[in-house]
Amino acid sequence: MFTPDIKSLLEGIPCPAMILDHIFRIIDMNRLMEAMCGHVTDEVRGIHSELVLRSNVGNSRDRLFKSVMETGEPVSTEGDILNCYRRKIPVHYHISPLSNSENVRSGLLVVAEVLHVEEIKKEQSNKSFSSAGIIGYSPKMQQVFNKIPLISQTDASALITGETGTGKDKIAEIIHNHSPRARFPFIKINCGALPADLLESELFGHTKGAFTGATRNKAGMFKLADRGTLFLTEIGDMPLQLQVKLLSVLDDKRFYPIGGEQIISVDVRIIAATHRSLREQVKKKMFREDLFYRLNVLYIHLPPLRERDVDIRYLLDHFLNKFMTGLGRNIAGFTSEAMETLLGYKYPGNVRELSNIIEYAVNMCKKKKVGLEHLPGYIFEPVADSPVAAGDDEINHINHQTSQPQERPPSLVVLPEKTPESWSDIERQMIIDTLKKHNSSRKLAASDLEWTRMKLWRKMKKYGLLP
């Protein structure tokens, strides 16, 4: 009835969406619609949409469906959806006709835009989540922010990936705080910080006498997070034997504590995070494939700071004000040299490292502005290119060529074997020669040397080559 790529069309829609046949039975849904309704497509395929999109639109919705089928004109309306958790979700429906290869109307595309999303987006736009230390005006961070409101309004499991220091913990907490579970606990546990036996006890609890040292009953994190959110950070480090038990709890919402004979039922939403590539972990048999797909219902990847240069200046100002206030300092900003250095640094530790650098600088600075002398010395040292961001392969193909040795441009001279005594002279002369070649253009010289412009500036300053 429909073209083969209809599934990709559905997944490309940034809102919950479904396709109905000519008598309004469900043919397919995207993952966002599954998350909002709480139903898997395979379970409801062929069922009348009225049984899934339970709402106060009621019979008027069916009349709208019939009208669209008869006239071929798309319509919009507002109403509520009652999902499988009996949670009412206000939505704006967009209903459009679909035609087959003979141009005969044969079904409907129904898109449900969650009205809460617009309210939260407006709040996010005004505050940029700055109160939580999450600031982002770059396109990649705006994509992250656009996902957060919708992910917040569902109970589906979510997976957050990104390099160390990108803010995975903060994003998880924001999702919880904007969710219907916000008034209930947000419990965090690091799956890589404890050995397997202790981690199992922390997650599921134990009874008195279950093992040596268990002198009393102890509730686990799952129980403590009941009706709230359990955040499993560094999920990629969870031992395999515990992954089996976690999968069982995700499926059944119940478990036995260690040494216990009475089953415990819980209502918990799971958000997991990792700096590792879980797909690679699955290939290496270090992470269960079924658990990966169970966690990866909704997905957010946080880009490294080097991929969001536009945000660095805003982050510098944010953390300067934060630490100034905490220490009671009055600092007017950064000198031009310090700002240029900070904007050119690669931040392999991402936002966490940037925050630490500014905290150090504010503690060291006794002047009106932060200068080069107030910055930690290590940022002036050469920084190796960062590896492919952990988790990137969940949404992008890894460019394996980046791991191959890169040849220098043929314009560069072949240098002799470098020694501690001669390298500085050789490097200084190399900079002079390259600048001459490009008529003193630092941009072209830096490109030729395979350096950033900031690195070239630092080297020129070091060797007294600045005008």
Q: Is the dihedral of CA 428, 431, 437, 442 positive or negative?
A: negative
pLDDT at res. 417:
36
Q: Are 135 and 126 in contact (CB under 8 A)?
A: no
The three-class DSSP label of residue 62 is: helix
* Nearest in space to 273 (alpha carbons), one of 373, 174, 137, 142: 174
What's the CA gap between 140 and 396, in Å, rounded?
A: 14
162 in the same domain as 94: no
Q: Which of 83, 114, 145 is the last residue of a domain?
A: 114
| Entry pTM | 0.59
244 in the same domain as 184: yes
Q: In this structure, what CATH number is given to the domain that contains residue 348?
A: 1.10.8.60
What's the CA gap between 441 and 142, in Å, rounded?
A: 34
The secondary structure element, H or E, covering residue 10 is: helix 6-11
What's the CA gap between 369 and 424, in Å, rounded?
A: 31
81 in the same domain as 30: yes
Q: Which of 381, 400, 432 is the last residue of a domain?
A: 381
72 in the same domain as 186: no
255 in the same domain as 162: yes
145 in the same domain as 262: yes
What's the CA gap between 272 and 252, in Å, rounded?
A: 18
pLDDT at res. 382:
67
* Nearest in space to 140 (alpha carbons), one of 12, 273, 307, 13: 307
pLDDT at res. 132:
56
Q: In this structure, what CATH number is given to the domain that contains residue 291?
A: 3.40.50.300
Which amino acid is present at 20? L
pLDDT at res. 156:
92
Write the CA distances from 80 to 37, 47, 89, 110, 401, integer angstroms: 11, 19, 5, 14, 50
Which amino acid is present at 147? K
Domain span holding position 376: 306-381
pLDDT at res. 51:
80
284 in the same domain as 136: yes
273 in the same domain as 348: no
β-strand 17-21 against 105-114: which pairing, if any? antiparallel
What's the CA gap between 150 and 158, in Å, rounded?
A: 11
Angle of CA points 295, 298, 302, to nearest 5°: 100
pLDDT at res. 87:
67
| Overall number of domains in the chain | 4
β-strand 186-190 against 229-233: which pairing, if any? parallel
What's the CA gap between 257 and 8, in Å, rounded?
A: 42
pLDDT at res. 78:
77
What's the CA gap between 467 and 440, in Å, rounded?
A: 11
Task: Find all residues with CB under 8 Å of 125, minimum gap 6, and list them.
Answer: none
Print pLDDT tens along the chain (467 aa): 455 566 777 777 777 888 888 888 888 888 778 777 777 788 888 888 878 777 655 456 667 778 888 888 888 777 777 776 666 777 777 888 887 766 667 787 777 776 654 444 444 444 445 545 578 878 888 888 888 888 988 889 999 999 999 999 999 999 998 898 988 999 999 998 888 888 999 999 988 888 877 788 888 899 999 999 999 999 999 999 999 999 999 999 999 999 988 999 999 999 999 999 999 999 999 999 999 999 999 999 999 999 998 889 889 988 998 899 888 889 999 999 999 999 989 999 999 999 999 999 999 999 999 999 999 988 987 655 544 444 444 444 323 333 333 333 332 333 333 333 345 666 788 788 888 888 888 888 888 777 777 778 878 888 888 87
Query: Which structure tokens are listed for 236?
Result: 């990629």
258 in the same domain as 186: yes
What's the CA gap between 130 and 121, in Å, rounded?
A: 14
142 in the same domain as 56: no
Q: Which of 237, 272, 301 is the last residue of a domain?
A: 301
Q: Are 192 and 238 in contact (CB under 8 A)?
A: yes
